[in-house]
Chain A
Amino acid sequence: MSYNFLTGRDYLTKRKQKEKKKLISVALGFPDLVFAANAIPVFPIRMEKFKINLYLMALNSATSLFGWDLTTKILGIARQLDFLKVVEKVLDDVVNSINDKYNEMYDLGVENGVPSDLCYGVNALYGMHKSRGSVLDANLNFAMRCGKWNKFSESLQSIVPNQIWVNIPPREAENEDKTLEIMVNNVKKAISELEGITGNYITDNSLKKQFRIGNQVKRFYKTILYEICSSDFYPCNPATFAEILALLTISFQDYNSNAQRYLENMSQLVTEMRERIKKGIGMDVSDMPRILIAPMFGGWEPETHEIIYELGGRALYADWEILGLIDEISVSENSDPVEDYARFLLDASKKGIGCDSDALTNSYLNFVKNLEIDGIIINQLFGCPSLSNSYEILKSKIKSELEVPAIVINFRKIGENVDVVKAQLRTYMEIFK
Chain B
Amino acid sequence: MDDLEILSEYSLYLKEKKEEGKKVIGFIAHDNIPEELIDAAGFIPLRMIFAGNDDLMNASHDYLPPSTCAFAQSSIGLFSLKPSQFNFLDLLDYFIVSNHCVSDICASEIISKYFNIPRLNFYISYTKNDNSLKYFKLELIDLKQQLEKIRGSEIPSKDLRESILKYNKFKKRLLEINNLYMKGSKKLKIIQKALLFGPDFIQDLEQIIQEYKEKSPINQINSKDLVLTGCSIFINDYLIDLIEEAGGNVVFLDTWIGNHYSSQIIDDKLIDAKKDPLNLIIKRFHDNIYGDHSVPNYLEFKISQIEKIYHDYKLKTGKKLGVINHIIKFCDHISIMSAHLKNQLQEKGIRVLNLERDYSRANRGQLSTRIEAFMEML
Show the binding face of A for B, using Cβ within 8 Å. Answer: 112-115, 117-118, 122, 141, 143-148, 150-155, 157-158, 163, 165, 167, 169-171, 173-175, 178-179, 181-182, 185-186, 189, 355, 357-358, 380, 382-386, 388-393
Contacts and interface: CB of A to CB of B under 8 A. Distances in A.
A113 B339 contact: yes
Contacts of B333: 147-148, 151
Given A112-B339, A385-B106, 14 more contacts: A146-B332, A151-B298, A151-B337, A154-B298, A167-B127, A167-B132, A171-B121, A179-B135, A357-B106, A383-B330, A384-B67, A385-B103, A392-B63, A393-B113
Contact of B339 (A115, A144, A165, A385): A115
Given A117-B329, A145-B105, A384-B67, A150 B295 contact: yes
B122 to A, nearest CB: 10
B319 interface: no
B35 interface: no
A153 B332 CA distance: 12
A392 to B, nearest CB: 5
Nearest to A408: B65
A383 B67 contact: yes
Contacts of A391: 65
A173 B142 contact: yes
B295 A143 contact: yes
A380 B106 CA distance: 15
B214 interface: no
Interface in B14-65: 62-65
Contact of B105 (A117, A186, A357): A357
Interface residues of B, number: 52
B340 interface: yes
B332 A151 contact: yes
B126 A389 contact: no
A385 B70 CA distance: 11
Name which of A117, A141, A157, A182 has the most chain B CB atoms within 10 A of its CB.
A117
A359 B68 CA distance: 21
A118 B67 contact: no
A248 B252 CA distance: 51
Contact of B102 (A147, A152, A167): A147
A173 B138 contact: yes
B206 interface: no
Contacts of A186: 127, 131
B335 A154 contact: no
22 contacts: A114-B339, A115-B327, A115-B336, A115-B338, A115-B339, A118-B335, A141-B295, A148-B332, A155-B337, A167-B131, A169-B123, A170-B123, A173-B142, A175-B138, A186-B131, A358-B109, A382-B67, A389-B64, A389-B65, A389-B102, A389-B106, A392-B62
